Amino acid sequence: MRLLFIHSDFIEYNVREKATDIAENIESESERVEDVLVVFVSVERNDKMNTAENAAEEIDNVAKQIKANKIFIYPYAHLSSDLANSEQAINILNKLRKRVRELGYEMHTSPFGWYKSFKISCKGHPLSELSKTITENEETEALRNENKLKTSWYILIDGILNDVEKFDYTGYDNLKTFVEYEIKGTRAVQETPPHVKYMKTLEIAGYEEGSDAGNLRYYPKGKLIKNLIENYITSRVLNYGAQEVETPIMYDYNHPALKSYLERFPARQYTVLSGEDRFFLRFSACFGQFLIAKDATISYRQLPLKLYELTRYSFRREKHGELVGLRRLRAFTMPDMHTFVTDMENAKDEFLKQYMLSIDVLKDFGLSTEDYEVAIRFTREFYENNKEFINDLQKMIKKPVLIQIWEEKFFYFILKFEFNFVDNTKKAAALSTVQIDVDNSKRFNITYINARNERVNPLILHCSPSGAVERIIYAILEKAEKDKQKGMKPMFPIWLSPTMVRIIPVDKNHLEFSEKIMDKIKNSSIRVDIDDREISLSKKIREAEMDWIPYITVIGDKEISSNKLTVRERSGNANYEITVEDLIKNIRERISGFPYRDLNENPYLSKRIIFS
């Protein structure tokens, strides 16, 4: 809805002739009102009854500011190029008139649907002319209907569904926090989540004001960590049997299958206008892969088929107030795998494998089942037919899980799980997730040929074994903070540490020897750097500790003569002596099986810039 306010000495109008078929009855052909706030109103296509309420509130605000007690509502089509139809417009307009009256104003108005002549005199003070746009959120059907969904909540343990209110949470504090967050939305902590601070001090990522909110920039350390995480997940998924593809990041709004899928997906899109065309940015890799599968020739003998893409990025235009650090973004990196299977038994089989895959993937980021809470959600019908299957999922993680049962199928999936990380501000964020999708193969016309030579729609599993890569960094940082509060030193898993070994020469005449050590370590595929700055030893140690560097080794006369290194290990207590070869061996053991990338910075600290 568009509003144009004119604080006027007077307005007068005369009705001329009908402009639309559906026009209001005329109560008076003309009127003149003095000293009045005139509001020209265009009702737009997306406006709802609720828009009228919001508009009335806005009018109230303006009227109070300029101390007006008379309001003139003037239907005026020419403020918008996206008008509502006449019927809708009259309804909403009437609602607006009613609300304005209810707010205690002397309300005047002119009839909708007529050409009118008018004279107006604007007072001309700074606030006398204002325009406002009142928008409704462009919610998808899925978003609008979500609160109408009838759901029941339980805590499942050992095959028993416990009432979520009556369950004894003793020993399960984290689950309790998660349940409260999930169901009641209550939370107590009012502070910036620790990962936001670390994201900056560790030079991982930063806000980019030159972009839209929720689109981050990554500094060399963050980019290295992100690359390693991405490489790791991709190799795990490929190892699981997926084939990697790459698909476009934007899609046509008018594509029929995409359009109906958009309606069922609970998220807001970025829209891209290009010339006459309207596109949306993908919010997952679903369509890209579905559109590939639609055109592929698939036999039942080749199923299950697994397609995978790591999206950089997936875009969701989340509400501005929702965005925080690495937890909630508008552009995020997400591994997204789709598995096409013949029937529900196969789907369950893959679901279970992917459940275990997810547990295993998170474990390598230092996140065990202790660190997150499991939610399993399904339709009542699925549960009635698969109670044992669900019970087994719970038993595998050896602690109670949150259950949500939908009385009817509303989403495109009938079963899903998520692993939710509960952070230091008692907020939860989903990491890994798998869904069994029963709708989209029909919607996208994806088929395979079965043994009887018939075309059949497969079932599709959606799987993100880790969740968004940014969320993994978030969870690692938040967990590090939890460790810190328990008295441990916060750190990254060694394989993700931007610098694994920091060499600190005591004096500049130890530099040459230090460089030799550095080369040895570097040649063993271990990220090593050297603090060659001319500052005190204590200060170098302090900064290395603040950078969470897992191995610090100081090199001076003693090391040169003994040919052993003195190592200060972050996860240990006392310093110890060790040969370079043994140190290399120890570290190699701890990082074997993980992806490796070289240092993404200058190895000489004196050559590094400060990013933040």
Q: What residues between 161 and 200 interact with RNA by CB under 7 A? A: 185-187, 189-193, 196, 200
Does position 210 bind RNA by CB under 7 A? no
User: CB-wise, 320 or 588, nearer to RNA?
Assistant: 320
Does position 218 bind RNA by CB under 7 A? no
Determine the interface stretch with RNA among 91-99, 273-281, 532-540, 594-602 (rule: CB under 7 A): 532-540
Does position 546 bind RNA by CB under 7 A? yes
User: CB-wise, 297 or 538, nearer to RNA?
Assistant: 538
Of 221, 226, 443, 568, the one binding RNA (CB under 7 A) is: 568
Phi, psi of 73 (to 5 degrees): -90, 115
- Tell me how far apart the alpha carbons of residues 566 and 577 are, in angstroms, rounded to a whole number: 5
In angstroms, give the least distance from the CB of 53 to RNA: 12
User: CB-wise, 385 or 562, nearer to RNA?
Assistant: 562
Binding residues among 67-106 for RNA as defined by CB under 7 A: none
- Tell me how far apart the alpha carbons of residues 107 and 264 are, in angstroms, rounded to a whole number: 42
Does position 471 bind RNA by CB under 7 A? yes
SS3 annotation, 248-306: CCEEECCCHHHHHHHHHCCCCCCEEEECCEEEEECCCCHHHHHHHHHHCCCEHHHCCEE
Binding residues among 247-266 for RNA as defined by CB under 7 A: 266
Does position 488 bind RNA by CB under 7 A? no
Does position 108 bind RNA by CB under 7 A? no
Does position 610 bind RNA by CB under 7 A? yes
Does position 151 bind RNA by CB under 7 A? no
> In the structure encoding, which two tokens stand for residue 421, read together?
């990380």
In angstroms, give the least distance from the CB of 17 to RNA: 38
Does position 586 bind RNA by CB under 7 A? no
Whether 107 and 73 have beta carbons less than 8 Å apart is answered as yes
Nearest residue to 590 (alpha-carbon basis) of 501, 457, 466, 468? 501
Of 21, 81, 126, 276, the one binding RNA (CB under 7 A) is: 126
Binding residues among 306-365 for RNA as defined by CB under 7 A: 316, 318-325, 328-330, 332, 334
Does position 571 bind RNA by CB under 7 A? no
Phi, psi of 505 (to 5 degrees): -70, 140
Nearest-10 crossing angle of helices 344-364, 387-397: 10
How far is C-alpha 63 from the chain's CA centre? 39
Does position 542 bind RNA by CB under 7 A? yes
Of 109, 247, 433, 497, the one binding RNA (CB under 7 A) is: 433
Phi, psi of 359 (to 5 degrees): -60, -45
Q: What contacts 470, CB < 8 A, 6 or more positions away? A: 205, 216, 226, 326, 329, 332, 333
Does position 557 bind RNA by CB under 7 A? yes
Of 225, 310, 428, 591, the one binding RNA (CB under 7 A) is: 428
Number of residues that bind RNA (CB under 7 A): 74
Does position 66 bind RNA by CB under 7 A? no
User: CB-wise, 34 or 507, nearer to RNA?
Assistant: 507
Q: Where are the alpha helices (DSSP H) in 296-450?
A: 344-364, 380-385, 387-397, 440-443
Binding residues among 439-468 for RNA as defined by CB under 7 A: 464, 467-468
> In the structure encoding, which two tokens stand for residue 378, read together?
């399904």
In angstroms, give the least distance from the CB of 203 to RNA: 11
361 by Cβ neighbours in 10 Å (0-12 / 13-18 / 19+) ranks as: buried
Looking up tokens 């609970």, which residue turns up? Answer: 266
In angstroms, give the least distance from the CB of 502 to RNA: 10
How far is C-alpha 373 from the chain's CA centre? 18
| H or E stretch at 58 | helix 49-66
Does position 150 bind RNA by CB under 7 A? no
In angstroms, give the least distance from the CB of 533 to RNA: 7
